[in-house]
């Protein structure tokens, strides 16, 4: 049933869902639904919690976002229920699986692809539902609304929500065809705060391989249409990756293969359901709709002012998504790209893709017009922790086998982090290894042992889109954002300490992390104290720390001085540093003012070992005098610097006594230990 409304008129919305058992109505127009909506109770927080701004719902550190509990099979089951014709027009619904979001959560509107079911986000409902108010658009199978009518529906809802909460952003997540709807609404409403997340946008349909198939589909006999879903399913995405979405990543290889086989066996027979979801007449209509939508959007890209994130697949056999990402990146004023080179068209159904993690990694989650790196931060989930440290970073962790030591208040050095206070505010001040090689070990140790988030103060360049391109993959820099990095600034430090956070600060900054040859373990600190009095203002505990091991893992081949002597490298360095807004401490004197960024050339070595020592905590509670006395503040500052230098010297001596410093000795010991353990287990069996 098509919408017979003028383009400028508000579309009609349903008052009830009499047979959608899995859904609850979404009050988009402000009118009360016909029956009360019910949502699952949010579980109680654990001991360590990261509280959201203005929220009555706490998100625990390493909370379980239930990612991976749904599958493509659930999508097919849900779609089979929702495609039953009730004669209604396109409408919004809120999935029950999303649960109750944090208070003040931004609104997320999902705009579906050509299937129109609205369940394209089903693998992400539970994770997104904790931090977004999620509503999905359902376009019935028999609906024949024109593209402009669908744009009117979405636009009316966006305007209504903007009137209710003018300072809250509205997220439009479009999948394929839904991207055209999102772009069209953004072009027509440049003054509304919209955040667009476009997954393989169909705005490239004019260059798609599907376009020449339209005459073939029209001539195809109806009894042969049942084969189309099977063909499309293998073109749209990799069934193996879809089946892997519900298989645990930490299973042994044989068990992983068995679970994958079961999942794949259950999935393949269900692909015939796509013939009911997209019957022949609907498929032909949707292809014509895609053609008009693509033309409409292409002519209006210049009017889009919204913040845009394009997720493009490298193996999209339906649309030229990679090329479209290039085009949108160059055409739109505020567009970023994340490229998934091994993924197919149905990106949101594939294993290893977590939409919430991507949004967090690119710093696009916010409650107001501008992102607040302190208040808008979301704690990492257990899934993000496992993927980053137990999978992606596992080989590096085994190679460096970090030793974590800390100092009790009595001065005794102990293994682990028992010497670190359990309550903030705590300011960790230390030495920055080459390229920040020590960071992942610190984040992992605090999360694993103490379930504490460290907010690392990082160079503003890491948060600039200037370092990105249209083929930018989800990188280590994005992971840093997920685990607490934020731009270094006095105001951010002030606000973090006021919130009793654990803050990681490197006074040496980029100059220390990008040091020259022969400068290993040398501190480059400003002459004047920059953090001591602020720590005292909030009675923060200062914990100095040192780390050694970079000389055991890599050799610096071309440093800053070497590269500036080579013309094309010098030009590249000048281009990186031409933006004055990304320059720090230009008002200082000495080496610390020379913080030009560059990428050193490293030659890997046979991995040694990293050694960390956190010094004796320094309480500032009884040091109120340094707030007014600059001389005493400077003495404490120099004391902390001297303590870190002493820690580094201590670690360099102690590592010489470690029989397992070499990776070979550690490997031999681990192999012998595993043999003894296996033998003991056999004897007790």
pLDDT exceeds 50 at position 20: no
pLDDT exceeds 80 at position 338: yes
Q: For domain 382-553+606-668, give the CATH number.
A: 3.40.1130
Of 318 and 54, more confident: 318
Of 677 and 346, more confident: 346
Q: Which tens digit of pLDDT belongs to each residue from 373-409?
A: 999 999 999 999 999 998 888 889 989 999 999 999 9
- Looking from the CA of 511 toward its CB, the CA atoms found within 13 Å total 19
Identify the pLDDT of residue 76: 83
User: Which DSSP symbol is given to 609?
Assistant: -
Identify the pLDDT of residue 314: 92
Of 251 and 425, more confident: 425
pLDDT exceeds 70 at position 267: no
Q: Which tens digit of pLDDT belongs to each residue from 156-168?
A: 999 999 999 999 9
| Residues above pLDDT 90, as percent of the chain | 58
Rounded CA-CA distance 511/533 in Å is: 23
Q: Which tens digit of pLDDT belongs to each residue from 55-111?
A: 334 789 999 998 878 888 888 888 888 887 777 899 999 999 998 999 889 999 999
Rounded CA-CA distance 183/300 in Å is: 8
Of 196 and 276, more confident: 196
User: Are 51 and 378 in contact, with CB atoms under 8 Å apart?
Assistant: no
User: Are 111 and 172 in contact, with CB atoms under 8 Å apart?
Assistant: yes
Paired tokens of 458: 């990082």
Average per-residue pLDDT in the chain?
Answer: 83
Whether 382-553+606-668 and 65-362 are alike in CATH topology: the answer is no
pLDDT exceeds 90 at position 444: yes
Rounded CA-CA distance 604/354 in Å is: 32
Identify the pLDDT of residue 670: 78
Q: Which tens digit of pLDDT belongs to each residue from 457-496?
A: 998 888 887 668 878 999 889 999 999 999 999 999 999 9
| Residues above pLDDT 70, as percent of the chain | 77
pLDDT exceeds 70 at position 637: yes
Helix, strand, coil tally for the chain in percent (to 5) = 45, 15, 40
Rounded CA-CA distance 208/286 in Å is: 14
- Domain locations in the chain as residue ranges: 65-362, 382-553+606-668, 555-577+595-604
Identify the pLDDT of residue 304: 97
Identify the pLDDT of residue 318: 84
User: Are 121 and 355 in contact, with CB atoms under 8 Å apart?
Assistant: yes
pLDDT exceeds 60 at position 681: no
Cα–Cα distance list, 634 to 304, 540, 596 (Å)? 51, 17, 27
What's the whole-number mean pLDDT along residues 302-325? 93
Q: Which tens digit of pLDDT belongs to each residue from 504-532?
A: 999 999 999 999 999 999 999 988 887 99
Rounded CA-CA distance 186/570 in Å is: 41
Write the DSSP assignment of 220-248 as a string of letters.
Answer: S-GGGGGGHHHHHHHHHS-HHHHHHTTS-
As its CATH architecture, domain 65-362 has 3-Layer(aba) Sandwich (3.40)
153-159 CB contacts, 8 Å cutoff, 24+ apart: 153/3, 153/11, 153/90, 154/109, 154/111, 154/181, 154/182, 154/185, 155/185, 155/188, 155/189, 156/10, 156/11, 157/28, 157/29, 157/92, 157/109, 158/109, 158/185, 158/189, 158/192, 158/194, 159/189, 159/192
Paired tokens of 362: 């690119």
What's the whole-number mean pLDDT along residues 606-629? 90
Paired tokens of 181: 């709807």
Q: Band of the pLDDT at 224, cuts 50, 70, 90?
A: very low
End-to-end CA distance of the chain: 68
Q: Find tokens 């948060």 and name the residue.
A: 463
Rounded CA-CA distance 127/105 in Å is: 13
Paired tokens of 404: 């974590």
Identify the pLDDT of residue 269: 47
Identify the pLDDT of residue 677: 54
Of 156 and 245, more confident: 156
List Cβ neighbours of 41 (8 Å cut-off, separation of 6 or more): 100
Identify the pLDDT of residue 416: 96
Paired tokens of 238: 């990799």
Identify the pLDDT of residue 536: 93
List Cβ neighbours of 672 (8 Å cut-off, separation of 6 or more): none
What's the whole-number mean pLDDT along residues 263-286? 66
Identify the pLDDT of residue 250: 64
What's the whole-number mean pLDDT along residues 25-44? 34
What's the whole-number mean pLDDT along residues 136-151? 94
Q: Which tens digit of pLDDT belongs to each residue from 652-675?
A: 999 999 999 999 888 888 777 766
């Amino acid at each position: 049933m098509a919408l017979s409304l003028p383009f400028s008129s508000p579309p009609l919305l349903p008052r009830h869902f009499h047979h959608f058992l899995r859904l609850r109505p979404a009050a988009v127009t402000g009118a009360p639904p016909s029956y009360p909506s019910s949502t699952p109770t949010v579980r109680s927080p654990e001991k360590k919690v990261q509280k959201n701004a203005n929220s009555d719902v706490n998100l625990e550190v390493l909370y379980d976002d239930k990612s991976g509990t749904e599958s493509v099979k659930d999508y097919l089951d849900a779609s089979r229920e929702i495609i039953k014709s009730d004669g209604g027009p396109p409408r919004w619904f809120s999935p029950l699986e999303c649960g109750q979001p944090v208070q003040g959560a931004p609104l997320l509107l999902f705009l579906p692809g050509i299937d129109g079911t609205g369940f394209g986000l089903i693998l992400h409902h539970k994770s997104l539902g904790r931090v977004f108010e999620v509503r999905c658009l359902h376009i019935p199978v028999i609906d024949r609304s024109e593209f402009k009518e669908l744009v009117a529906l979405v636009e009316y809802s966006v305007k209504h929500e903007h009137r209710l909460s003018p300072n809250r952003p509205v997220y439009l997540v479009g999948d394929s065809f839904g991207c055209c709807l999102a772009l069209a609404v953004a072009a027509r409403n440049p003054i509304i705060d919209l955040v667009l997340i476009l997954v393989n946008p169909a705005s490239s349909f004019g260059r798609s391989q599907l376009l020449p198939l339209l005459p073939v589909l029209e001539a195809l006999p109806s009894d042969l249409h049942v084969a189309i879903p099977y063909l499309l399913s293998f073109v749209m995405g990799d069934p193996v990756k879809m089946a892997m979405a519900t298989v645990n990543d930490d299973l042994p290889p044989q068990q992983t293969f068995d679970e994958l086989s079961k999942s794949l066996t259950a999935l393949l027979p269900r692909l015939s359901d796509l013939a009911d979801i997209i019957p022949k007449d609907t498929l032909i209509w949707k292809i014509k709709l895609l053609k008009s939508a693509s033309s409409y959007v292409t002519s209006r890209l210049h009017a889009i002012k919204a913040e845009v994130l394009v997720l493009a697949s490298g193996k999209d056999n339906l649309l030229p998504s990679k090329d479209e990402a290039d085009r949108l990146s160059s055409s739109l004023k505020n567009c970023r790209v994340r490229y998934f080179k091994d993924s197919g068209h149905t990106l949101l159904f594939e294993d290893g893709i977590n939409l919430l993690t991507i949004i967090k990694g690119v710093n696009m989650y916010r409650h107001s017009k501008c992102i607040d790196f302190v208040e808008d931060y979301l704690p990492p989930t257990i899934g993000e922790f496992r993927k980053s440290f137990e999978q992606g970073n596992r080989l590096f962790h085994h190679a460096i086998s970090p030793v974590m030591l800390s100092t009790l208040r009595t001065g005794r050095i102990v293994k682990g982090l028992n010497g670190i206070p359990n309550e903030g505010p705590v300011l960790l001040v230390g030495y920055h290894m080459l390229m920040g090689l020590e960071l992942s070990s610190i984040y992992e140790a605090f999360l694993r042992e103490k379930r504490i988030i460290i907010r690392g103060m990082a160079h503003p360049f890491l948060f600039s889109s200037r370092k990105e391109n249209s083929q930018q993959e989800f990188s280590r820099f994005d992971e840093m954002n997920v685990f607490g990095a934020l731009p270094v600034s006095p105001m951010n430090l002030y606000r973090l300490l006021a919130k009793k956070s654990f803050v990681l600060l490197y006074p040496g900054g980029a100059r220390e992390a990008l040091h020259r040859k022969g400068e290993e373990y040398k501190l480059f600190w400003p002459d004047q104290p920059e953090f001591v009095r602020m720590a005292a203002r909030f009675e923060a505990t200062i914990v100095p720390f040192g780390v050694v091991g970079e000389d055991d893992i890599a050799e610096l081949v071309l440093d800053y001085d070497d590269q500036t002597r080579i013309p094309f490298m010098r030009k590249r360095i000048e281009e990186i540093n031409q933006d004055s807004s990304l320059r720090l401490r230009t008002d200082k004197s000495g080496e610390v003012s020379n913080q030009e960024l560059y990428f050193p050339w490293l030659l890997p070595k046979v991995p040694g070992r990293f050694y960390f020592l956190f010094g004796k905590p320094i309480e500032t509670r009884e040091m109120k005098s340094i707030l007014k006395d600059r001389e005493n503040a400077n003495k404490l500052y120099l004391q902390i610097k001297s303590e870190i230098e002493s820690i580094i010297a201590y670690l360099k001596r102690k590592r010489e006594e470690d029989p397992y410093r070499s990776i070979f000795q550690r490997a031999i010991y681990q192999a012998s230990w595993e043999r003894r353990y296996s033998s003991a287990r056999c004897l007790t069996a």
